[in-house]
Structure 1
Amino acid sequence: MQRTMAARWAGLILTAVCGLTACSGNGGGQDTTGAGPPGGSAGSAQPGRYSGLPEPCGAVGADILRELLPGAEAEVYAGEPMVTYDTGRRVGCEWNSTAETATQRLTVDYQRVVSYDPDVSDDDQAALDFDERASEAGIPSAVPPPTDPLAPRPLDGIGQAAFIDDRQTASEPGERREITLAFRNANVIVTVTYAVSTTLPEPPLDSEQLQQRTRDVAQRLAQGLDG
């Protein structure tokens, strides 16, 4: 009789406990109903494709540097690394050539984007940052008509998204042009800036040629990321 009463009380206590917590029939093991995938939660976004950045001063080939900086001293082609606080997140390099009648400057800048939002991946955050940069630069969402092929515009064929911005600054008697080409590949944003100035009134700087040289650099850098 005492055993029967004890068993009955034990059953009542177990029923009460199961009413407050999730009981399972797996031999007392932890209930895993509704648990996320092993090693992470459903709200954890994926890390970016790139976990590091290339050495920037070696990213541009000597043949392209000689074309962009003609007649420069040999040490110029080595480049000057950009000073940054975290080379895992941002690196860059600059090349400068100064002559009597003209100067050329080339800079490349790599930025690896990391998202701090667990619901936004690094790649998606980089896409948002890149679109914001394009908007701030006044880049149209569509390619302009063929009548103005050198205008600021988005570009195809370089990374996953790209744009080019060509600006002229008049200086008497010569002129100065600065071309900026930015592109994104996964979670890395790369910016190439090529600036040329001359003190000569003639001939005018060839914008189409300068843009093509800048595109050559950007395409080389994009291939380097994939390689």
Structure 2
Amino acid sequence: MQRKAYVTGTAALLAALLAGCSGGSGGGGAADDANPGDAGTAAAAAQPGRYRTLPEPCGAVSHSTLDALLPGIKQIADPDQRDKAYQGEAELTYDTDRKVGCRWKVPSADATDRLSVDLERVVSYDNTVSDDDQARELFEQKESAAGLSAASDTSPSPSQSDGPSPSDTPSPGDSPNGTSSASDSPSGAPGPDLQPRTLSDLGDEAYLDDKLGTSGATAAQRTVTVVFRTSNVVVTIQYEEQPMAAGAAPDSKEMQDKARNLAAKLDDALGS
């Protein structure tokens, strides 16, 4: 009987202690109930990006596309040297699933052409920021560095954002085929429809930049850059040409068309 009384007393003491803990918490009980919900919210991480890997960049550009961008390749007589020129030179990288690139440089009888293709797969390490949003931030940084942030905040007409319209009326400085040519203007600057601008036909967002080096006794080098983002991958294409003839300037429209054609093919290859 004494043992039974002891057990009953112990149970009563434990019940009293438990009641005291729960009762003494007061408003704290509601706070404790909220904690599981907060933890669930924090655990709901932002969505990952669409891409987990990147294509091999040197093999991502076809021979026919390289022939158009780098005409000097077809002028290389030695087959081994020509094959090496097609292969390009891969950029040094320590993680081919995160950042890759390839470079080509080919001289011809008329000019020296350079091409670079860089692909970066962006991953966010912040659970509240998605991979896409992190990639969008990287794209906007590049766009701002190109001086196009203000332009992207406006709503340009189709001819300003996507290049010349077929119905555009040629100006006196236009070339005979009705398209504006940088080499036709005294400064070598691209015409109004070929100025640096945002593009609406590539990936989720894109822009084109066109810069001409100082002209004078030597030939002026033109650099056309196309950058576009598809989900969490940012692709940067840089196409450069420097003519052999002193005082010459590469044609803006021709270079832009070639760079945009390559960008469209890479966009298709990514499956956007």
**TM category, shorter:** 0.7 to 0.9
2:210 & 2:14 partners in 1: Cα distance? Answer: 82
Determine which of 9, 13, 20 is the counterpart of 1:9.
Answer: 13
Determine which of 200, 206, 209 is the counterpart of 1:162.
Answer: 206
Does the CA-based 8 Å contact 2:221-2:249 persist in structure 1? no
Q: How many residues align?
A: 218
2:86 & 2:216 partners in 1: Cα distance? Answer: 27
1:71 & 1:199 partners in 2: Cα distance? Answer: 13
Does the CA-based 8 Å contact 1:175-1:199 persist in structure 2? no
- The equivalent residue for 1:107 is 116
Does the CA-based 8 Å contact 1:172-1:199 persist in structure 2? no
Deviates more, 1:12-21 or 1:134-143: 12-21
Structure 1 residue 34 corresponds to structure 2 residue 42: no
Structure 1 residue 66 corresponds to structure 2 residue 70: no
Once the 2 structures are TM-superposed, how far is the Cα of residue 33 of structure 1 from its aligned partner? 4.9
C-alpha offsets along residues 173-193 of structure 1, whole Å, 9 cap, x if unaligned? 432111000001111110001
* 5+ long unaligned stretches in structure 2: 77-81, 165-190
Determine which of 153, 156, 172 is the counterpart of 2:217.
Answer: 172
1:131 & 1:95 partners in 2: Cα distance? Answer: 27
Determine which of 107, 115, 118 is the counterpart of 1:98.
Answer: 107
Structure 1 residue 186 corresponds to structure 2 residue 231: yes
Deviates more, 1:109-118 or 1:5-14: 5-14
- The equivalent residue for 1:214 is 259
Once the 2 structures are TM-superposed, how far is the Cα of residue 86 of structure 1 from its aligned partner? 2.0
- The equivalent residue for 2:192 is 148
Once the 2 structures are TM-superposed, how far is the Cα of residue 36 of structure 1 from its aligned partner? 4.7
- The equivalent residue for 2:134 is 125
C-alpha offsets along residues 17-69 of structure 1, whole Å, 9 cap, x if unaligned? 3336799xxxxxxx99526559x703x22222111111001111111111111
Once the 2 structures are TM-superposed, how far is the Cα of residue 117 of structure 1 from its aligned partner? 1.9
Residues 1:54 and 1:18: Cα distance change in structure 2 (over 3 Å): same
Identical positions, percent:
39
1:20 & 1:91 partners in 2: Cα distance? Answer: 61
Structure 1 residue 199 corresponds to structure 2 residue 244: yes
- The equivalent residue for 1:28 is none
Structure 1 residue 18 corresponds to structure 2 residue 22: yes
Structure 2 counterpart of 1:193, which letter? Q
SS at 2:266 equivalent: helix
Structure with the larger strand share = 1
Residues 1:99 and 1:20: Cα distance change in structure 2 (over 3 Å): farther
Once the 2 structures are TM-superposed, how far is the Cα of residue 203 of structure 1 from its aligned partner? 6.5
Structure 1 counterpart of 2:194, which letter? L
- The equivalent residue for 2:182 is none
TM-score with structure 1 setting the length: 0.84
2:116 & 2:24 partners in 1: Cα distance? Answer: 65
2:88 & 2:24 partners in 1: Cα distance? Answer: 69
Q: CA RMSD in A?
A: 2.8
TM-score with structure 2 setting the length: 0.71
* 5+ long unaligned stretches in structure 1: 24-30
